[in-house]
Amino acid sequence: MRIITTKNLLLESISIVEKAVPSKTTLPILEGILFLAEGGKLTLISTDLELGIETSINVDVLEPGSLVMASDTIGNIVRKLPDSEVEIVTKDGFVVIKSEGTEIEILGLPQDEFPQLPEVDKEQEFTIPDTIFKEMIRQTIFAVSNDEIRPILTGALLEADGDKVTMVALDGYRMAVKNNKLLNDTKISAIIPGKTLIEIGKILEEKDEIIHVFISKNQILFQIGETIIISRLLEGEFINYKQLIPSEHNIKIKTEKSKLLEACDRAALFAKDSGKTIRFEIFDDILNIRSNSEKGNVHEELKIEKSGGDIEIAFNPRYIIEALKVINNEEIEIEFTTNVSPSIIRASKDSGFLYLVLPVRRR
């Protein structure tokens, strides 16, 4: 193999595929990136056997071929190369990287051990703009469970029916739901591992590109420009999330998101000792937020608009703060039923985002 490209192109493509390289693995070959040079293209491939990424760049291929280099080694080298042309050539079992006055030789990894990415049957297909998909991930991913005891909850549900697409994540304490319109009618349902969504979220650059998504029984494939991401899907039935959303409420308040977020953030300072909770006391047109601990107390007072009665209800502040952070609108609404049943947070202006949070029972 012998190719000529530039530092920047190479670095960009390595930055994409290194997201699937496992940080710890018992299979050393997975620490490598496969480089394939052919027909004016260099293709880089990585996989941790659950998530695989493949991306291509246009390069001068002087001699086609392929090789595997350890991801951290080649990443560190390319980051430190001069901002210039780079030649990569294989020589006597070594890979040689040349640029200006620099010549670096590294040992390749055994290429025949590198696993193939799985083929994905293109049973179901739909398309979605990258900006919309990135936002769907951002507004739900924080609610994905980290708890392997219920593996299904470590993924998010991606569901489309007609011209509506929905992403749902929940962890037993709260649930984030994001709806969007699709341009074309479609019908799909898949549970995507949280890790896959996190890495896709990082790769998506919001260049107003259309993502092509293909779904088979166990795999999902995302095609984003010259990049392909393949992930296994989680098996099993997702929770019937629609059933969890209360159909009515007794109390609804309207308030400013930024002020509420800052108030919860301060109240959280002293929530560590008090059962990790902050108290909402809603009385007339005032929301009082309180926390108590041995170290001190916080009292926040916010003006609200309210319909319905008064209520006292306690929350884990993190569950409120994380949701408020992903809402883009400034005016938000919270609906309460009782202080032991779920509350709903959403933007006043419909943004397709809905968040359900369980209160903490007072002791």
The window from 51-59, 124-132, 205-213, 293-301 that contacts a copy of itself (CB under 8 A) reads 293-301
Pick from 301, 310, 330, 350 the residue near a copy of itself by CB under 8 A.
301
- Reference 270, options 290, 242, 285; nearest CA is 290
Beta strand extents in 138-294 (DSSP E only): 155-170, 174-193, 210-215, 219-224, 227-232, 251-256, 278-283, 286-292
Is there binding between residue 299 and a copy of itself (CB under 8 A)? yes
- Give the nearer residue to a copy of itself in terms of CB position, either 41 or 259: 259
Cβ of residue 94: shortest distance to a copy of itself, in angstroms?
8
Is there binding between residue 18 and a copy of itself (CB under 8 A)? no
- Give the nearer residue to a copy of itself in terms of CB position, either 34 or 78: 78
Report the C-alpha gap between 209 and 128 in whole angstroms.
9
Residues 164-203 that bind a copy of itself (CB under 8 A): none
Residues 263-282 that bind a copy of itself (CB under 8 A): 263, 265-266, 269-270
Cβ of residue 174: shortest distance to a copy of itself, in angstroms?
23
The window from 15-23, 99-107, 273-281, 323-331 that contacts a copy of itself (CB under 8 A) reads 99-107
Is there binding between residue 111 and a copy of itself (CB under 8 A)? no
Give the sign of the dihedral formed by CA 311, CA 316, CA 319, CA 320.
Answer: positive
- Give the nearer residue to a copy of itself in terms of CB position, either 212 or 266: 266
Report the C-alpha gap between 341 and 177 in whole angstroms.
18
- Give the nearer residue to a copy of itself in terms of CB position, either 153 or 320: 320
Are the beta carbons of 353 and 346 closer than 8 angstroms? Answer: yes
- Give the nearer residue to a copy of itself in terms of CB position, either 83 or 125: 83
**The amino acid at 184:** N
Report the C-alpha gap between 214 and 285 in whole angstroms.
50
Are the beta carbons of 88 and 1 closer than 8 angstroms? Answer: yes
Are the beta carbons of 87 and 98 closer than 8 angstroms? Answer: yes
- Give the nearer residue to a copy of itself in terms of CB position, either 55 or 316: 316
Q: Show Cβ contacts of residue 359 under 8 Å, excluding neighbours closer than 6 positions.
A: 313, 314, 315, 339, 340, 341, 342, 343
Is there binding between residue 107 and a copy of itself (CB under 8 A)? yes
Please report, as ranges, the residues that interact with a copy of itself according to CB under 8 A.
70, 73, 76-77, 80-82, 94, 101-107, 259, 262-263, 265-266, 269-270, 294-302
